[in-house]
């Protein structure tokens, strides 16, 4: 029997039916006590551990569970709490913990950004003048819990020091070494206490090694792991990487650890093994089950890959595991009773992926014959999925070929921006520093309950349409009373900005319980792209045109762009991603043209996920960005010059993709920047941007209502480097997750701020 064990890197926190989300939000609303929150989340965490044990996983992660975010957990464990929260040391209480994540009326929240190139958001550590201390050994607490309550010898999971510091802000690059020296003894204490408690394995997550690091940082990292070995020599450390292959492969594989976990889905880890081999004194964690997608693995192919990997390893032990934490996929497909049987046959959510890992582990240990039944079942499921008659659409493929063969003419506007903006200004009659929102308005329990009743057939289509119209009427009136210049219909008919389009386009499927965590308690349900994508019928026109009929002010048509729909969907891997992206663009192009034909003068095509999708390997950036620009322009370029195209982006790190954003040729772009306003402003000090732009002037992810003076400060900072003729004033993102009072209060202050600054600008003329 070969030396093979199974492992998991992390498990979804949210519960099969988002019990975790409901507990958190009930606590925030003061509907339950801290004790009740703890009891509910304890139940979810222990159930997660039991399921992994029952699925035959040998190395079960503990400490991967969180009440908000694992990076924030790490900050709290080390007492890294910004001064504005009046933290006085010791264990971080829940009120402070959540205030850092969400803000309060006295202090703005810490910055939130994407976890590498995923749709998961982490809270950015702030290290200004930090003096870290170990406030609690969190991994030890969860290790003991699993041991005592479930008799599980768990594998504690810790965010590694190199990754943690590289993802933090508030220090100069030259201070990295001194900061590392401050945190190193704390990590050592954690590991020594785990060793003393009897822990066998520890997983230290270092996804930062999927990016290129300097020789100096690599040397420092090696010393860190040498220190770990000296401090806890009996502890087996897995240095876990994911999201890409290890860029500095030779250096990282020389670190003195028991095992190194590698992602065999993203990047090209297999080529690294072929070219450089693998250290004879280490165990390989082979991440070959996709932790970021939901499609069933071909087990015969995966077993063949495992055998090839084993050939390169010789007698080395091997750990069979997912490519990443399963945090990025839904919990289980067993609840998807309404889903088409063919699509369901092709799916594997977190629980099903654990089964795949267990089967492959057995197959590698005992030989292919030992899992013959499972291989046959897997083959039958994949055949059932592939035989779906509507997976391939030749008409769509031919149409895309025609666009691509026509060259740049398919993706160019009629006039350059400097000329068409004049036509738009004459038609729209907007004031200087126009105000608008990003798109969505608050969705309350009433909206969700009514939509559920409609889906269940408890109310008619006519009743549901009347309800949506009532909401649109209410909020058009509110927006007019607030004094906003460009209005939105509010998107009350939409569950999610991507799932909604997944329900309307051919080639997509949607789930009922396929939730994944995006940020905090915010969960999304990515649609499933199972085949070629095409336009079916208008998706947004009815609501937008109705809203426009209620007001003389312009109402924006609101679409999600092709790059974001692709990045926030679970895409089957049979067809190249960029091909699917362009198919989505062609479908959206029809929707854009329909909106324009119905008299909508402003159409916003949101691309919040454009920056997020960048590969970690910078060598792949150009191909990705070129494809993104082409798809966006394919979506938007057919409109007349007087139609104004807007787009919106999140966490865009504008300086990295400045040329790409300019290349989109959108007339107006809004960027989510309120938590990192100064960072984005610096880009405009270094570059000239000639189109119109809105930098979010307040943070919608926080329940606090900033006053107009705070927003005016953000506006003034932007106007130092951006002309008032170019600048729009808006929140930094959609308002769906905020309640009515928060939304109206914040927008009222925003309009007041805009009016004040507008007067200042006009007086200077």
Is 655 among the catalytic positions? no
DSSP 2: -
Task: Tell me: is residue 733 an annotated ligand-binding position.
Answer: yes
The whole-angstrom separation of Cα 574 and Cα 388 is 13
Task: Tell me: is residue 147 an annotated ligand-binding position.
Answer: no
Task: Tell me: is residue 440 an annotated ligand-binding position.
Answer: yes
Task: Tell me: is residue 491 an annotated ligand-binding position.
Answer: yes
The whole-angstrom separation of Cα 302 and Cα 320 is 10
Q: Order of strands, edge to edge, in the sheet holding 570-571?
A: 506-509, 528-534, 570-571
Q: Residue 608 corresponds to which tokens in the numbers above?
A: 């919040």
Task: Tell me: is residue 606 an annotated ligand-binding position.
Answer: yes
Cβ neighbour number for residue 673 with a 10 Å cutoff? 26
- Compute the CA torsion angle 110, 100, 22, 28 (nearest 10 deg): -130
Characterize 167-186 residue by residue with b for buried, 16 or more Cβ atoms within 10 angstroms of its Cβ, and e for exposed. Answer: bbebbeeeebeebbebbbeb
Beta strands in 252-325 (DSSP E): 259-263, 283-289, 318-322
Residues 6+ apart with CB under 8 A from 619: none
Task: Tell me: is residue 114 an annotated ligand-binding position.
Answer: yes
Q: Of the residues 70, 646, 677, 701, which is catalytic?
A: 701
DSSP per-residue letters across 387-443: T-TTS--HHHHHHHHHHHHTGGGGG--SS-HHHHHHHHHHHH-PPSS-B---SB---
- Phi/psi of residue 44, nearest 5 degrees: -65, -45
The whole-angstrom separation of Cα 646 and Cα 606 is 8
Q: Measured in whole angstroms, how far is the alpha carbon of residue 370 from the centre of its chain? A: 39
Task: Tell me: is residue 19 an annotated ligand-binding position.
Answer: yes
Task: Tell me: is residue 439 an annotated ligand-binding position.
Answer: yes
Task: Tell me: is residue 648 an annotated ligand-binding position.
Answer: yes
Q: Residue 659 corresponds to which tokens in the numbers above?
A: 């040329």
Q: Among candidates 180, 250, 184, which has minimal Cα distance to 217?
A: 180
Task: Tell me: is residue 21 an annotated ligand-binding position.
Answer: yes
Which residues on adjacent β-strands are paired with residue 159?
Answer: 205
The whole-angstrom separation of Cα 546 and Cα 68 is 39
Q: Residue 570 corresponds to which tokens in the numbers above?
A: 């679970």
The whole-angstrom separation of Cα 531 and Cα 569 is 12
Contact (CB, 8 A) for 496 and 526: no
Q: Which positions are catalytic?
A: 701
Binding-site positions for L-homocysteine read: 438-440, 491, 606
Binding site members for Zn(2+): 648, 650, 672, 733
Show binding-site residues. Answer: 18-21, 114, 438-440, 491, 522-523, 568, 606, 612, 648, 650, 672, 733
Please state the residue numbers annotated as binding site for L-methionine: 438-440, 491, 606
Give the residue numbers of the binding site for 5-methyltetrahydropteroyltri-L-glutamate. Answer: 18-21, 114, 522-523, 568, 612
């Amino acid at each position: 029997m070969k030396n093979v064990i199974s492992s998991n890197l992390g498990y979804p926190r949210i519960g099969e039916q988002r019990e975790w989300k409901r507990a958190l939000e009930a606590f925030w609303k003061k509907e339950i006590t801290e004790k009740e929150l703890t009891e509910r989340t304890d139940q979810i965490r222990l159930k997660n551990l039991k399921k992994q044990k029952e699925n035959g996983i040998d190395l079960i992660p503990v400490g991967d569970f969180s009440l908000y975010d694992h990076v924030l957990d790490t900050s709290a464990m080390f007492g890294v709490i910004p001064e504005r929260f009046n933290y006085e040391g010791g264990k971080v209480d829940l009120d402070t913990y959540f205030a850092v994540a969400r803000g309060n009326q006295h202090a703005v929240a810490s910055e939130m950004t994407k976890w590498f190139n995923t749709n998961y958001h982490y809270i950015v550590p702030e290290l200004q003048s930090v003096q870290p201390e170990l406030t609690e050994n969190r991994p030890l607490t969860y290790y003991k819990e699993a041991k005592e309550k479930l008799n599980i010898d768990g594998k504690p999971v810790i965010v590694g020091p190199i990754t943690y510091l590289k993802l933090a802000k508030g220090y100069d690059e030259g201070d990295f070494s001194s900061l590392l020296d401050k945190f190193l003894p704390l990590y050592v204490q954690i590991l020594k206490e785990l060793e003393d408690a009897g822990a066998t394995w520890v997983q230290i997550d270092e996804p930062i090694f999927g990016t290129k690091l300097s020789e100096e940082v690599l040397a420092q990292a090696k010393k860190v792991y040498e220190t770990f070995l000296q401090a806890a020599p009996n502890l087996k450390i897995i240095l876990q990487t994911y999201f890409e292959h290890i860029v500095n492969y030779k250096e990282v594989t020389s670190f003195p650890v028991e095992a190194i976990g590698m992602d065999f889905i993203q990047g090209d880890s297999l080529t690294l093994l072929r070219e450089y081999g693998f250290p004879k004194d280490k165990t390989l964690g082979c991440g070959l089950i996709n932790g970021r997608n939901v499609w069933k693995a071909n087990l015969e192919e995966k077993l063949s890959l495992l055998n090839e990997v084993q050939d390169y390893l010789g007698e080395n032990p091997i750990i069979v595991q997912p490519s990443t934490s399963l945090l990025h996929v839904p919990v289980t497909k067993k609840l998807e009773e309404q889903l088409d049987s063919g699509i369901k046959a092709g799916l594997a959510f977190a629980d099903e992926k654990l089964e795949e890992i267990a089967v492959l582990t057995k197959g590698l240990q005992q030989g292919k014959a030992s899992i013959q039944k499972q291989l046959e079942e897997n083959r039958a499921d994949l055949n059932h999925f592939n035989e779906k008659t509507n997976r391939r659409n030749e008409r769509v493929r031919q149409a895309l070929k025609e666009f691509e063969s026509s060259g740049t003419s398919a993706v160019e506007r009629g006039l350059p921006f400097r000329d068409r903006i004049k036509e738009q200004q004459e038609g729209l009659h907007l004031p200087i520093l126009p105000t608008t929102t990003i798109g969505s308005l608050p969705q309350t329990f009433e909206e969700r309950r009514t939509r559920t009743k409609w889906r269940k057939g408890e109310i008619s289509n006519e009743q549901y349409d009347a309800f949506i119209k009532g909401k649109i009427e209410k909020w058009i009136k509110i927006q007019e009373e607030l004094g906003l210049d460009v209005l939105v219909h509010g998107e009350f008919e939409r569950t999610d900005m991507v799932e909604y389009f997944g329900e309307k386009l051919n080639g997509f499927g949607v789930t009922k319980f396929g939730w994944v965590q995006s940020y905090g308690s915010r969960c999304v349900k990515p649609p499933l792209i199972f085949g070629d994508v095409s336009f079916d019928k208008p998706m947004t026109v009815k609501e937008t045109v109705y809203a426009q009929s209620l007001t003389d002010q312009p109402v924006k048509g609101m679409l999600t762009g092709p790059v974001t729909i692709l990045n926030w969907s679970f895409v089957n891997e049979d067809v190249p991603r960029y091909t699917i992206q362009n198919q989505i663009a062609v479908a959206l192009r029809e929707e854009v043209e329909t909106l324009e034909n119905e008299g909508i003068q402003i159409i916003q095509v949101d691309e919040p996920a454009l920056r997020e999708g960048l590969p970690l390997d910078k060598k792949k950036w150009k191909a990705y960005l070129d494809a993104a620009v082409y798809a966006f322009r394919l979506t938007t370029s057919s409109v007349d010059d007087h139609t104004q195209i807007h787009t919106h982006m999140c966490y865009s790190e504008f300086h990295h993709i400045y040329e790409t954003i300019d290349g989109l040729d959108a007339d107006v772009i809004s960027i989510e920047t309120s938590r990192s306003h100064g960072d984005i402003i610096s880009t405009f000090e270094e570059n000239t941007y000639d189109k119109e732009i809105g930098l979010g002037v307040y943070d919608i992810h926080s329940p606090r209502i900033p006053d107009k003076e705070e927003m005016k400060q953000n506006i003034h900072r932007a106007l130092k480097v951006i002309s008032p003729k170019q600048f729009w004033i808006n929140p930094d993102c959609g308002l769906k997750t905020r309640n009515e009072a928060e939304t109206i209060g914040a927008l009222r202050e925003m309009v007041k701020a805009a009016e004040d600054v507008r007067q200042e600008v006009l007086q200077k003329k």
